[in-house]
Chains A and B, each alone.
Chain A
């Protein structure tokens, strides 16, 4: 079961006096070490004065015939890309995972955080030339929470009193909530958001305020976007046109990049880094805040015993797993999500690989030599490899995790969110919004079925607290509960690896956990 890492292999080779062999190995490893250099040069690659013009050709995976341009029915990567380029939310997240106002000029709560006053930025127009007004914002909010076709952000607005939304003036509204909701802005700062749409929005005519407007859209094949001349944040964007072509898999995507058919490709695996950099193209390796957890259902045996959960968390060698699956690119995890959030507690000691401790915990729980099934699927880059590595590492703790690989469609079929022991993937989200999505009873994606009274009361307390410092303290206490009792195993936050050709500039490393700094193509320019 011992995993052979590159370092160990080299050490052993050197010990055995296989100098020539080791030299050969070093040469063979040249691809991946040069890739690190290439990632480092990435930030310099954007030097020079940005200039306007040109067509960016993007080769993207994840699309399908069910692709949409309707921000309410976003599902896959290409949907997120389209939405992020066509539309804009009130707030957004920058490459450092910090939120900033985008279409909002101001979002102010009342004293008990039950009513938010939202003022829109001045001088923003839609692609059809119409000014953005308070009516558009009210329409957009109502569209997201419409129970007949709820948007992904509906749950982030679950306490909203829709009938009480008031228009104060042409750019300002007040939004009342049934309960205090101090975290509203950060809850809308990522892909799950309220995009501002014009009153009467028709998805067949996808009009937004974003830096690009729709020119042509064929689901599962191609999307053509054109520069929005009257974009409020001039002189952005630089590109005249973006052609996004769907690719079925990484091989064809990378082949297209290497043969010059596309300029940028997204979501690469660590295995292709060498191939891409070896042929003179660049990769950008970002320490994303996205995460690929193992999910243990805390309400079902054997995971209803917290000792079993802790044993399963101790049975993973996080560093070795990160090395094997992502070539060491990424950040170690501590079974707590939202690593780049200001309220993330970095002082909690890093959980180490400890199969002996895991064994004794399992023994105490009466679950020695536990056999279980881990459901895995090709849902995101590296997920199946993580499962294989986990099964192998956990053996040392006497855990016999049998892998059951299902198709993506099966994985998200009727058993989704009900698997006893499975996996998932998440983009970066700040701490409280993530709790709202994942670890509360009634949260839409509570795959671990976590239901902890103390945790819930702390969360509600945080929502009623406008003092950021106090909220941080509450968050730290909740994170101790995540750390000691939670149903997630978060071994690491994997790197996001994107590739691009030499004449593409303005590509930056990003903590958003989403490709190209969450589809920030408005800053990209061609030389």
Chain B
């Protein structure tokens, strides 16, 4: 991801021009441009995914019928699913529907894609947000303490432990947590996190604990290292020296003077980890049997359910685009010298 460098190099220059011409506020303009580019990106994604799904052997009729695919049943189902049409016509009618907000119907069961995926988006979003917030808070606090007490035993232990965790893939963390808390050592938490249809994640908090913990543990080391590093850099600067000489308390120096200046890189790394979570949920949802979009994507690929694959990938791509824009904007606003046109 090169958003940080974009900002550093081209960003301010573009902004300055926009401001000078008397256009909209530079940040508004940035958002508008990035959103427009995002739409183009999403369109490109739909084309690539559509072509990629065509490269898979078989089609939805084969995939759905599986073991019991007889020529008669295949023919009947292919006709029913309109799989005999040309590629261009299939894509054309799909994209035509999308423009009108109709994402098509699932080839696997004939239901509307948006109806099927809606609750799953909520489930996955709950997972990503909870893990993102908890992971960021815990890692951030640990990072602040480690920076404040640099080279203490606390700093060394947390740094080494978190470094070790970066070497563990999600499923190892997940299985370790299941063994510890639900199956072998303790029987305190459910080993799988099935959210019954019609129910919401926030009504099943106990079921969320292990998957959220897994994801939080996986992203924590990166955020910790960034917070610690950025804070140490800030704490060594002249203005912090000045603040200390003024006799301010240590925590006031940390939180009011050093932290705001360390924010831009931290925001970038938090954004990156949110994006990582959007991919990481696929594995975690599988391990915990959690009904989110990651599990739905695996299922859709197995079923060659093209409208479903298109919709889920589109959602994920849109999430990427949005998180990138939002982190850039926040980082920009946290950098006073860059948000004012000179």
Contacts and interface: CB of A to CB of B under 8 A. Distances in A.
Nearest to A59: B192
B108 A258 contact: no
A75 B66 contact: yes
Contact of A64 (B70, B286, B303): B303
Given A155-B70, A219-B108, A222-B196, A65 B62 contact: no
A416 B70 contact: no
A240 B67 CA distance: 33
B190 interface: yes
Of B68, B198, B300, B302, the most chain A CB neighbours within 10 A belong to B68
Contact of B108 (A65, A218, A415): A65
Interface stretch (B92-100, B264-272, B287-295, B334-342): B287-295
Nearest to B72: A150
B64 A414 contact: no
Nearest to B67: A412
Contact of A412 (B65, B196, B308): B65
A259 B304 contact: no
Nearest to B108: A66
A416 B182 CA distance: 41
Contacts of A247: 192, 289
A216 B288 contact: no
Given A414-B58, A414-B62, A66 B303 contact: yes
Contacts of B70: 150, 155, 444-445
Contacts of A259: 182-183, 187, 189-192
Contact of A150 (B73, B191, B288, B296): B73
B23 interface: no
Interface in B255-314: 286-289, 291, 295-296, 298-300, 302-305, 308
B289 A252 contact: yes
A65 B73 CA distance: 19
A409 B194 contact: no
Nearest to B308: A65
Contacts of A252: 191-192, 287-289
Interface in A209-252: 216, 218-222, 245-249, 251-252
Contacts of B57: 409-410, 413-415
Contacts of B305: 65-66
A525 B65 CA distance: 34
Contacts of A464: none
A481 interface: no
Q: Taking chain A's interface residues, is the majority helix, strand, or loop, or is none over half, making it mixed?
A: loop
B296 A261 contact: no
Contacts of A74: 68
B63 interface: yes
Of B73, B300, B302, the most chain A CB neighbours within 10 A belong to B73
Contact of A256 (B73, B192, B196, B299): B192
B51 interface: no
Contacts of B187: 259-260
Q: Taking chain B's interface residues, is the majority helix, strand, or loop, or is none over half, making it mixed?
A: helix
B78 to A, nearest CB: 12
B182 A255 contact: yes
A149 interface: yes
Contacts of B298: 248
Interface string A480-497: 000000000000000000
Contacts of A149: 76, 80
Nearest to A218: B197
A412 B65 CA distance: 8
Interface residues of B, number: 48
B69 interface: yes
Contact of B302 (A64, A68, A260): A64
A150 B302 contact: no
A66 B65 CA distance: 9
B106 interface: yes
A408 interface: yes
A411 to B, nearest CB: 9
Interface string B196-215: 11100000000000000000
A410 B190 CA distance: 34
Contacts of B178: 255
A248 B282 CA distance: 12
A169 B308 CA distance: 49
Given A64-B302, A150-B73, A408 B197 contact: no
A155 B64 CA distance: 19
Nearest to A243: B196
A136 to B, nearest CB: 23
Contacts of A412: 58, 62-63, 65-67, 69
A256 B108 contact: no
Of A150, A255, A416, A425, the most chain B CB neighbours within 10 A belong to A255
A67 interface: yes
A179 B274 CA distance: 67
A229 B133 CA distance: 49
Contact of B291 (A221, A251, A256, A261): A221
A76 interface: yes
Interface in A147-173: 147-150, 152, 154-155
A22 interface: no
Given A66-B63, A252-B191, A258-B183, 7 more contacts: A65-B109, A75-B67, A155-B70, A216-B198, A222-B196, A251-B287, A260-B187
Of all A-B residue pairs in the complex, the 6 with the closest CB atoms, nearest first, are A413-B58, A255-B191, A66-B108, A218-B197, A259-B191, A444-B70
23 contacts: A65-B296, A65-B300, A65-B308, A147-B72, A152-B73, A155-B70, A218-B197, A219-B108, A219-B109, A248-B298, A255-B182, A259-B182, A259-B192, A261-B190, A261-B194, A408-B66, A409-B302, A409-B304, A413-B57, A414-B58, A416-B62, A424-B67, A425-B67
Interface of A: 64-68, 74-76, 147-150, 152, 154-155, 216, 218-222, 245-249, 251-252, 255-256, 258-261, 279, 379, 407-410, 412-416, 424-425, 444-445
